[in-house]
């Protein structure tokens, strides 16, 4: 096989990535860390067929994910450590095929549908939208487990904006409350609200209570395509709008602008890409297309989108790890009754 053909084969191969996900789902790294290193013991602990599991692990050992120091005996490698549930940078929940992470990966069977139609492929594979799954009580825990790995994002948003001059903030699409918890913990004079789907804010309320923020934090279950609670100083959209097409993102921004009015701000925290974006950005662009019909945007595209919602982008702050803050206010020429 020629070198170019081999490179193409490696790029097209889905066997090893899928085998890693099966190992994560079966908690193989956890079992190995607990001392179950012999194949029969691993199979019993994982609830797997001994022969089939051995074939899976031997393939992954040849790939350097696990090691097989002697026949039928397996061990962790440095590469496999993040597959442990208790690893500080654990990927296990993200790769678990029984949770939302597995459904995210499985949705790429709908990539052809997305490329042909421009629509999300997720629903063509699973029969309902990504958002319907994310709101399913049986799936919410795995979704929250994945989102808990976004602590770096919370840090950048909390540090990158002048929150000291803000009294009230509504975190629109704020999920389980991790970002609002980070912001309120840093700025004790600030109060805020997590706005998200009713099933989601149940978890956010618990998170805020556990952080001791009950006196300054509230939750509000609703739909951000409908009117938002008015009168806050800042309406924050963090890592939200890239999940949506331009028409839907415009509707969300208009609701935020309507609620903020002349005196409030709309703060977008998202990725801003350019024409030289690396493969991690192009991969995310395809991911949000397949999952939700969303897209990554350039700064010019963000400005155009904000303008179409009656907003003007003011200060733009580029933070580390792809986080950019775009501070928006109602355009002087926009009428509030035209925005909503």
SS3 content of the chain, % helix, strand, coil (to 5): 55, 15, 30
Task: Please choose, from the candidates 20, 33, 42, the residue with its C-alpha nearest in 3D space to the C-alpha of residue 87.
Answer: 33
CA–CA separation, 201 vs 209, rounded Å?
12
> How many CB atoms are closer than 10 A to CB 104?
19
Name, in order, each residue with C-beta under 8 angstroms of 294's C-beta and a sequence gap of 6 or more: 241, 242, 243, 244, 245, 249, 288
| Tokens linked to 153 | 């994002």
CB 23 within 8 A of CB 29: yes
Spatial distance between the Cα atoms of 218 and 204, rounded to a whole number of angstroms: 9
**Cβ partners under 8 Å of residue 127, min gap 6:** none
- Residue 242 designated active-site: yes
Tokens encoding 101: 């992470």
Contact 39, 72 (CB under 8 A): yes
Strands (E), the chain: 66-70, 73-76, 168-172, 191-196, 217-221, 234-238, 265-270, 272-273, 297-298, 311-318, 324-330
> Given 59, 87, 113, 242, which residue is catalytic?
242
Residues known to be catalytic:
242
């Amino acid at each position: 096989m020629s070198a170019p053909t081999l490179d193409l084969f490696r790029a097209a191969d889905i066997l090893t990535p899928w085998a890693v996900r099966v190992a994560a789902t079966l908690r193989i790294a956890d079992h190995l860390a607990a001392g179950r290193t012999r194949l029969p013991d691993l199979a019993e602990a994982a609830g797997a067929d001994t022969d089939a599991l051995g074939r899976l692990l031997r393939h992954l050992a040849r790939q350097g994910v696990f090691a097989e120091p002697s026949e039928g005996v397996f061990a962790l490698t440095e590469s496999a450590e993040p597959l442990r549930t208790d690893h500080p940078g654990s990927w296990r929940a993200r790769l678990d095929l029984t949770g939302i992470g597995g459904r995210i990966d499985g949705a790429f069977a709908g990539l052809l549908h997305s490329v042909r139609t421009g629509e999300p492929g997720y629903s063509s594979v699973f029969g309902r939208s990504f958002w319907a799954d994310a709101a399913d009580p049986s799936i919410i825990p795995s979704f929250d487990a994945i989102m808990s790995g976004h602590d770096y994002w919370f840090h950048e948003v909390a540090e990158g904006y002048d929150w000291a001059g803000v009294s009230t903030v509504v975190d629109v699409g704020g999920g389980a409350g991790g970002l609002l918890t980070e912001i309120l913990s840093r700025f004790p004079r600030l109060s805020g609200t997590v706005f998200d789907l009713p099933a989601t804010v149940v978890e956010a309320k618990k998170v805020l209570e556990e952080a001791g923020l009950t006196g300054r934090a509230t939750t509000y279950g609703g739909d951000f395509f409908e009117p938002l609670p008015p009168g806050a100083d800042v309406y924050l959209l963090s890592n939200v709008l890239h999940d949506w097409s331009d028409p839907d993102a415009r509707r969300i921004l208009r609701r935020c602008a309507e609620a903020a009015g002349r005196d409030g701000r709309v703060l977008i925290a998202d990725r801003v890409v350019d024409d030289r974006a690396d493969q991690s950005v192009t991969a995310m662009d395809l991911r949000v297309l397949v999952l939700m019909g969303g897209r990554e945007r350039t700064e010019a595209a963000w400005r155009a989108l904000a303008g179409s919602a009656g907003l003007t982008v003011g200060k733009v702050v580029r933070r580390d790890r792809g986080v950019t803050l775009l501070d928006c206010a109602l355009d002087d020429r926009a009428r509030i009754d035209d925005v909503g």
